[in-house]
A and B are shown apart, each in its own frame.
Chain A
Amino acid sequence: MEPVISVEGLRKDFGDTTALAGIDLSVRRGSVLGLLGPNGSGKTTTVRILSTLLRPDAGRASVLGHDVVADAAAVRRVVGLTGQYAAVDDALSGVENLRLIARLLDMSRGQARARADELVERFGLADAAKRRVKTYSGGMRRRLDLAASLVGTPDVLFLDEPTTGLDPRHRNEVWDQVRTLAAEGTTVLLTTQYLEEADQLAEDLVVLDHGRVIATGTPASLKTEVGGQLLHVRPLFRTDVGAVATLLGELTDEAPAIDPSGELTVAGSPQLLQAVGARLGVPIAELGLRLPSLDDVFLTLTGRPADETTEEVPA
């Protein structure tokens, strides 16, 4: 089955800075692809090229078979975009924003009104529909922004860090909307720097770093790639960290990783868990086995945590 989004050798430079150093990716119909990476890794540049807002310097990208450069107008007919900053008009009300987009998409007045009413209902904005967007909370603006990108019922939806800056409750609301859309058959390309978000929403992941694809796969396959289960222990008292580290060292012939919260991690197994449980002589807050998180994946792939603020991409 031909991919809905197909990207080959995509490259973009901004002056001396390379934003994309030649990336390839493809997105299956009806799937959610997570584009994961720290700030400056090239996620937004990719989305802007795919939504025809930027021209690539080299390489090829197409959406539903339409080339994003040669056939940009056709691409604009089938995609919706929700950017990092809510692209809605503060001075208009919620429904007016949606009606404006509907009219620009060549719907009649009646159709525009019906579509706007339907969307405010769906996104829980009916009560605030007639209020100016200026008075909306951050979460409401994001939902309106998402609604605005859905006015034309796009086959492909680009979400550029859709939950950045939202509190957990609003983040969950956006997640639910994305899941619903995917279930309805919309193909979604989502960028995020939150590993949890990628884990929650995406079936396939592409990990970007410094404008290059450093890994692809499903969340599960990436976790497996990093290794098997991990055993983690957190003593109740920080003063016991040394003693626990010594014990783990004796049992595994390996020095455990110790994170700033005082949690110790080593490659683990149920046998090891039992052994540790039997020999720990200090009170512990946490002890268990887990699959590596995407945080672990990122650390393994790049040698640094995902949330570490990176400098702009070096030239």
Chain B
Amino acid sequence: MLENLLRARKLQADEPPLRVEDYRQRALATGVPELDTLLAGGFPRGELSEIHGPASSGRTGVLLALLARTTAAGALAALVDPLDRLDPASAAAAGVDLERLLWLRGPRVSGEEPQARTLAEATKAVATLVGAGLFDVVALDLAGAGREPQRLPFATWQRLERLVEHTKSGLVLLAESHVACSPGGRVLALEPAGLRFSGPPGPACLLQSLAARARAGGHRLREAELTLAAV
């Protein structure tokens, strides 16, 4: 009886009543000042955003920074990883609270490009996660999938845009080149700008950092230099 009464008045302990803040006003910051300035505060909630760039342009490092910032604040994040590329040690080193990260791993793919069915399943899983409204960040990692993401029906991305609208979640795609972005979302384009080693090749040589150029919305006027430290 008491539980019914509490539920009816929305005072049930499972969902505390002190959460009336409008989350949508707060963008999802990456915690990297250069990027957050470039993105006008971070990736917006309720929108489909995108991080794209070629291999070794720091895409994964930026995504992990976003996941680290989100989970460190106590929120939940989900990563749909159809190609099973996440390295949990790198995620932990970037500061991701692994307990708050839901990781959906794709099946093992022997070739370089995943099957279209795997990507379709992944987008379905993203739709479920976004619809649940439990996660502040839902990320779909399509980097390394070649041209397959572009071959998915355009309606797939429209459907995801609709689903994420009016939710507290920010949906972020990680890809090699532009795939999709909602009108209010952000596109972060990354280009590799070289690797830095500690010295000449030899037994004491270490990879120190990876430099990248970041552009928001493909606009050359809004550009930033980014340095990712090696673990």
Partners in one complex: no
Which residues of B are at the interface with A, using a C-beta cutoff of 8 A?
none
